[in-house]
Amino acid sequence: MTSGEFPRAFFLRPTVEVAKDLIGAWIARRQGDAWYGGRIVETEAYLGAADRAAHSWAGRRTPRNEPMYMEGGHLYVFMVYGMHHCANVVTRDPEIAEAVLLRAAEGPPGTPAGLLSGPAKLCSHLGITSAYSGRDLLAGDDLRLLRGILAPPELAMTPRIGVDYAGEAKSWLLRFIDLNSPAISGPRRLNSAAKILISE
């Protein structure tokens, strides 16, 4: 696995592929001269108009989710529960409103365990707010995604978290985790219903 920035084409691929391949990638945030961040260990795919759990379900298009309709590689950040933010990487071509939710990352050694374990905690501690919604990840200079430099992770897939309202889509296996990471969100969320190993 090589290191460095992802090219635009990476984000234009099928959303599930992007969600898988972002496991093991790094998210980096600049604060002055220093960079902070972590290794992404948990993502979820949101599949646009056909996906009842997605904000773009049934073609919904509002000021809030407008970034989902942008070209892959942009950021879609929204607020939930009036107090938390969630960050998504938009995928595919313009007008195809799909995205990958960044759910958890592992901080460098020495950082408190669980600091980035959860979509809202990740945003909070990396300072990602609604101000970043609609931004192009390939254009900014203070928030970047970088290819992983470690061995490819062992992946598992499970249903997504917190989408019980989504009918049939709630059981779709669109959550991807690094099996060996201690930083997965929630209380050892593996043992619930469906879990499948993926052979890389």
Structure tokens, 73: 């590689």
Closest separation in Å from C-beta 175 to DNA: 10
Toward DNA, which CB reaches closer, 86 or 143? 86
Footprint of DNA on this chain (CB under 7 A)?
Answer: 44, 46, 53-56, 60, 62-65, 68, 76, 78-84, 86, 88, 99, 101, 118-122, 130, 160-163, 165, 185, 187-188, 191-192
- Residue owning tokens 């190993």: 197
Toward DNA, which CB reaches closer, 26 or 91? 91
Toward DNA, which CB reaches closer, 10 or 46? 46
**In whole angstroms, what is the distance from residue 87 CA to residue 150 CA?**
24
Closest separation in Å from C-beta 50 to DNA: 13
Closest separation in Å from C-beta 129 to DNA: 11
Q: What is the DSSP string of 76-106?
A: EEEEETTTEEEEEEEESSTT--EEEEEEEEE
- Residue owning tokens 């809202």: 120
Toward DNA, which CB reaches closer, 24 or 118? 118
Closest separation in Å from C-beta 97 to DNA: 9
Q: What is the DSSP string of 24-71?
A: T-EEEEEETTEEEEEEEEEEEEE-GGG-TTSTTGGG---TTTGGGGS-
